Each structure stands twice: as structure tokens, then as C-alpha cells.
Structure 1
Amino acid sequence: MPSQYSKQMSTGMQEIGHVSTKELDDANLARMGKRPVLKRNFGLMSILGFSCTILITWEGIVVGGPAGAVYGFLFVWAGVAATFVVLSELASMAPTSGGQYHWCSMLAPRSCMKLLSYLTGWLTVIGWQATFATSCYLVGTLIQGLVVLTHSNYEPKDWHGTLLFWAVVAFSVVINSVGGKVLPRFEGMILVLHILGFFAILIPLTYMADHGSAKEVFTEFLNLGEFPSQGLSFFVGTVGCIFAFAGGDAAVHMSEEITNASTAVPTSIMLSVLINGSMGFGMLLAMLFCSGDLEKALESSTGYPFMSIFYQATGSIAGTAVMASIVTTMGATTSVGMLASTSRQFWSFARDRGIPGWRVWSKVTKSNAVPLYSVLVTSVIACLLALINIGSPVAFNDLCSMSISGLYLSYMVVGGLLLWRRCTGGISSTRSSDSAVVNTAGARLVWGPFHLPGIWGIIINAWALIYMTIAVFFTFWPTSWVVDVQTMNFSVVGTVGTIILSLFYYIFRASKVYEGPIMEQA
């Protein structure tokens, strides 16, 4: 451990009353072997806004249509809550931008740490790159749907959606490139819109629409994919709800830009699942009770049943356009935060030499302390993925599934290792006051401020793993029992293919330069 870190941490621990929170954050980061190079511009409220608006659960439920259903949402919400508890415990232990691959390196046995950490890093790369691309794709097609709604003579083309996709990427790049306090203030403002927008849609929808019966909402199940059993249809239908909660680790990858990160990150994660879950469930019930002619909604020329439901409720194209614009605006602003998280995770993995071209992608611009090269390469990857839409309109479902599978597989790896460590007593409950290295590869493990002790921690950890296994399994399923080129889910090809390519890179190059999280010199 470099002497600079020892001095810094000793000062932080011995003179805690005389140093700022930022200095303590940097000292804790130093104990994990990382040099602070990003500016800590996020506080608790701004990162809460960031977390909540990344999830945009109620907006995702609106877009997802009736497939999620009440019981599917409750199942997913319970599973996501347990998963977020696990992520929060790990983020509290080691609040770094690396997230999952760093946690894997500190929890895994030394014999398999290097390869397992590397694969976990790539799973996170796959998940976040797909999540950002899916968000931009969704916004592009939502804008097309709005144009169809307001201009009946418009004929949407797939390449129109790609151009709109690129416009959303460009907007996200601009906000992310400015640096300073622009992004935190932007996220705080969007949190207000996220909450006000919920009521701006919920109130007119429930007031003006004809209401269905409770029997229809709570007892009648749809099997639009014509699966051989209702149970199978139920689990395949939960994918929409799972995606509505996607990106729960977003705040984790911003950890090195957050003050009091070991407490603020888990707090924002858990509050986001509570706030978004409550709002999402409320909006789901409203949509189901006010769905009107469901068959007509599913055949909407806009491509989105929720726009038809809004129109049936209000009887006004202008009113429907305003309500749908709120959802579209939230989607566009969410892409800004997704680009931030995706680029920070990519930057951190490059910093530890896990990505080809890591010398370039790990650079941070001195003027605004932003990993601009990682922001740009993430944007280019998304723009290239947008080209898939021109040749195959089913790209959204596949990208959505890759988003879930990549992120959830990375969660499963670290969740399984954490369960093993907590059952074998491998994590200390008290942090020493010295400057020793902790919570990184080969170092001593200590719990952070957020920790669920005892049997309850084990039960929730185990339930999270069960839920994630189910979620990943069904993300690879097609949306209907009779499969053709249009309904086939090719996400398994994308996920496994990327893993295979990363293994080839590992064999020929990364195994020589990647050692897990490196100990940086100050």
C-alpha cells in the first residue's frame, strides 16, 4: 500500500472531526487502492433523483402494456427489492465505479478471482451498453408514435426511428460532456418531473376513463403468446416488469462522484425501489382499470397501446399527445443518466485494463473531470446498435433481453459470492481504525454502514438469487409459443457471443494485463 494512502487514511480516521465528507470519501477510496480523479458533485438528493429517474418504473409500466399484470408486478417488485438489498450491502462495502467486477474480485477465492472478475466486468458492460441503447431506441419509437397520433398521414419508417435514436444519443452526450454540477442539477430537476408527471397522467386517466371491474383486473389472465400453460405465460410476461426496474445499479457506477458514498448510494438505491415500485404499481392498476377496449389498444397504429388507452379515456388527440409527451420526455431524460452510468462503468473497467484500448478509455479530461472518451465510445456503440433497427424491427425485444440478462447475470455472480462469504463468516462486522487495505482483491472484508445481519440477511440474499435465476431464464424466451423470425428471441446469441469474444480477448491479451482492480499510485 503506497504511503500516501496510509497518511491520508490515518488523518481521516484520527481527525474525523476536522475533515470534510469529501476527504473521508477519498480516504475510503484510497483504502481500496483507487485514486480519486472524478469530482464529487452528487449529494443524496441528486443521486436519489438519478436513481429514481433511471428506473422510471411507472413510465416503463405504461409503455409495457397489460402483459405485466398485477401479480407479475408484485412478484418482480419483491425480487427486485431483495436484489437491491444485496447490491446496497456491496455498494456500502466498496463504493467504486467498478461495481460488480470489483465486488467479485474482493469476494471470490483467489484461485478463480481473476477470470471470474473479468467475466463479471464484461457481463456488466453488456448489460449497460444494451440498457442505454434500448432506452434511446424506445424514445425514438415513442416519438414516432406521437407523430402517428397527431398526423394520420404519416407513414413511419424504421430508419426514421434510427435517426431519432441518434438524436437522443446526441442530447445525452451534450449533458454528460459539460461536467461540473450540470448533471446533478439536471437529475434533481427530472426527479420533480418524474413525480409530477405521474399525477399529471394518473388523475385525468382515472377521472375521465370508463372503469373496468375488479374481477377483470384481479382474476382474468391473458395468454396472448398462446403458451401451453398460464403459468408459463405468466413468467414470460414478467419480462416487461423486470425491464421496468432495470438499471438498479446505476448509482453504484457514480459512486466516485457522490459525497458520503457508502451511505448515500445504498440509501438512494433502496428509496428508488420503494418510490418507483409504489408509483409503478399505482400506474399499473390505473392502466388495467382504465384500459377500455383492450383489443383496439393492442392494435394501435402508434405501436404503443398506452396511447390508445389515453385517447379512449380523454377523447382528445391533444390531451393524449400531452400525456404521451410526458412519458416520452422522461424516456429521453433517463437516457442521460444511463449514458453517465454506462460510461463510468466502462471507464472503470478500462482503468483496470479489462477492455481493449484501455489506455484511451481510462483517460479523464482535466477541465471538467469527465471520462469523455468513455462517454464517446459508449455513444458510438449505441449508434451502431441502432442500425439493427433498420434491418430488423424486433431489435427492441432482443436488446431489452440482453439488458436484463447481462445485468442480472452480473448480480447473480456477486450475490452468490456474498451469500457464500456471509455463511462462512468471511466478512468482519467492525472496521479497524488503521490504514490497512480493505474490500479489494486479496484484502480483508468488512461490512459497510448498510448491512442486514444474521438470518434475515441470508434469507433475503438467497431469495434474490432465486428471483434472478428465474428472471434470467425467461429473458431468453420468445414472446409467443409459435416461433418464427419475427418472434424469435436472439438475445442469447448476443449475450453469449459477447462473452465468447471477451474470452478470446482474455486468452490472447487480457490475461497478461488484467489482474483485477489495480492498486493505483497517487
Structure 2
Amino acid sequence: MAIIVLVTMLFCIGDLGTVITSPAPYLDLFNNTGSVGVALLLSIILFLLIFLAAITALATTSRETWAFSRDKGFPLSRWISRMNYKRNVPDNAVYLTSVVAGVICLINLGSTTGFNVVVSLNLLALLSTYMISIGCVLHKRIMKEPLPPARWSLGRFGFPINAFALAYSGFVIVFACFPNQVPVTTKTANWAPLVWVSVIVVAIVIYVFHGRKYYTPPVVFVEGRKQAGVGLQTISDL
């Protein structure tokens, strides 16, 4: 479906020079329909999808923040991991995630370049985490170690699919570090590698001074692996 949409956009987007210089190329595409009503309807659908995606992203990131705080991975984890059992919602994690996202958006008011520097972390962060998780599974397959039972499995195609996914992610990471154009200036530079490495350094510092003392990886609570006398992970109530 994405290929069909892409081909349709490329044939209907109009003059390429105008689109490149436009602050909102998709609006030019909608206007090329020749109907103001259709362009307005498509814009409403797009903004509605973005709004719903933002809610999904907030729900996801707040739950991930809560889960990591439950394992005492963050400073102030006790406050972040508190759960509102009446609604089954980690309120503090939602508030924290919303405030941080809002602060990041405010950067765009002062400097578009600064905002792009922060959000450029997205691709490299996703690909690197994919490589870690896929690499662990691939390592188990290579070492002939059994994987945990699951309702759905790739079966015999698991090894080649995992190997291709790992190689492709590494390939994309290399090219994601290249600048968009030359000559490279402050505004056109690709800041993703610098931000990526900086976040890794900050994470290492947090682990050295906090994580290694307080962080409890979830595996220590898994039945069959946890030590005698270790109970389930607990959290505070709001």
C-alpha cells in the first residue's frame, strides 16, 4: 500500500522545484486535485491521523517510561512509577512524558535547526534498538539455543529473516549518518550521529551513578530464573 501511495504522489505532486521549496509539500499535492473541498477533506483526514498517532505515541512512551521506572532505571523512579489503580493509568509517567514532549516542541520556536537536531535522533535510536533485539535472537539461533515458546513463530524462515533484518538495519544506520547535501553547514549538517552518541553517553553516566545500584532487570523476576525469596516487582499507588 505504501508503494501505491508513493507512486501516486510522485505522479500527482506537480512541479518538483515548487514542492522542494514549499514548507508543506503535502498541501501542494492536495491542491493539485483541483478542488478546494477535496484538498480540505484530505487535510482534515491527515491531521486527524496525526492526532490519533500522537495519542498512541504518548500512550506508548509513557508506559515505557513507567515500566523502566518500575525497574528503578530512572532517578526519581519511585515518583514516576506510581500507578493510578482507579483508572489503571500511570499518571505521573504520562505527565512527565507530556511535559518533556512539550518542552522539545518549544525549541522549534527559537531555532528550527535546534529542533531538527533533537528529533534527528529518532531513526538511529530505532534502528540501533532493533539491531540489539534482533541480534540477540539471531545469536540464540546461531548457538542453537532454544527460544521461549510463543504463539506465533517464523519457523525455519526465522534465521534468514533475522539475518536480513540485522544487515539491513546496519546498512541504513550507515547512510542515516550522512549529511543531506554538500557543502555541509550548520543548518544542513546531519546532527543525528552526534545526538545519538550523546544520548548513549548520558545513559552510560546514569547507569554508572544510578542504574548499577538500583536497576533491577525484569529477568530476575521470571519464574524459573529468579532466586529463592525474590517476589514480584511492586509499585507505589497514587
Using structure 1 for the length normalisation, give the TM-score.
0.41
Whole-Å Cα distance in 1 between the matches of residues 40 and 115 of structure 2? 23
| 1:354 paired residue number | 73
Q: CA shift at 1:460, angstroms? A: 0.5
| 1:462 paired residue number | 163
Cα 1:289–1:514 shift into 2, 3 Å:
same
Select the residue among 276, 284, 292 that pairs with 2:6. 284
Q: Say what the alpha-carbon RMSD is for the aligned residues.
A: 1.8
Whole-Å Cα distance in 1 between the matches of residues 54 and 206 of structure 2? 29
| 2:153 paired residue number | 451
Unaligned runs of 5+ in 2: 222-231
Q: CA shift at 1:521, angstroms? A: 5.2
SS at match of 2:33: helix
| 1:342 paired residue number | 61
Whole-Å Cα distance in 1 between the matches of residues 149 and 115 of structure 2? 39
| 1:380 paired residue number | 99
| 1:312 paired residue number | 32
Whole-Å Cα distance in 1 between the matches of residues 36 and 18 of structure 2? 16
Whole-Å Cα distance in 1 between the matches of residues 6 and 209 of structure 2? 49
8 Å CA contact 1:342, 1:378 repeated in 2: yes
**AA aligned opposite 2:153:** H
User: How is 1:32-111 mapped onto 2 (pairs within 5 angstroms)?
Assistant: none
Q: CA shift at 1:464, angstroms? A: 0.2
Whole-Å Cα distance in 2 between the matches of residues 394 and 348 of structure 1? 32
User: How is 1:183-262 mapped onto 2 (pairs within 5 angstroms)?
Assistant: none
8 Å CA contact 1:365, 1:371 repeated in 2: yes
Cα 1:400–1:471 shift into 2, 3 Å:
farther
Percentage of matched positions with identical amino acids:
31
Whole-Å Cα distance in 1 between the matches of residues 193 and 107 of structure 2? 16
Q: CA shift at 1:399, angstroms? A: 4.2
Whole-Å Cα distance in 2 between the matches of residues 465 and 397 of structure 1? 27
Using structure 2 for the length normalisation, give the TM-score.
0.86
Whole-Å Cα distance in 1 between the matches of residues 171 and 6 of structure 2? 22
Q: CA shift at 1:414, angstroms? A: 1.4
| 1:401 paired residue number | 120
Cα 1:389–1:413 shift into 2, 3 Å:
same
| 2:224 paired residue number | none
Whole-Å Cα distance in 2 between the matches of residues 470 and 325 of structure 1? 36
Unaligned runs of 5+ in 1: 1-277, 428-444
Q: How many pairs align?
A: 223
With a CA cutoff of 8 Å and minimum separation of 6, indicate the structure with the bigger relative contact order: 1
Whole-Å Cα distance in 1 between the matches of residues 233 and 58 of structure 2? 28
Select the residue among 480, 489, 495 that pairs with 2:196. 495
8 Å CA contact 2:107, 2:115 repeated in 1: no
Whole-Å Cα distance in 2 between the matches of residues 404 and 385 of structure 1? 17
8 Å CA contact 2:117, 2:192 repeated in 1: yes
Select the residue among 404, 411, 422 that pairs with 2:141. 422
**AA aligned opposite 2:205:** F
8 Å CA contact 1:476, 1:491 repeated in 2: yes
Whole-Å Cα distance in 2 between the matches of residues 473 and 447 of structure 1? 34
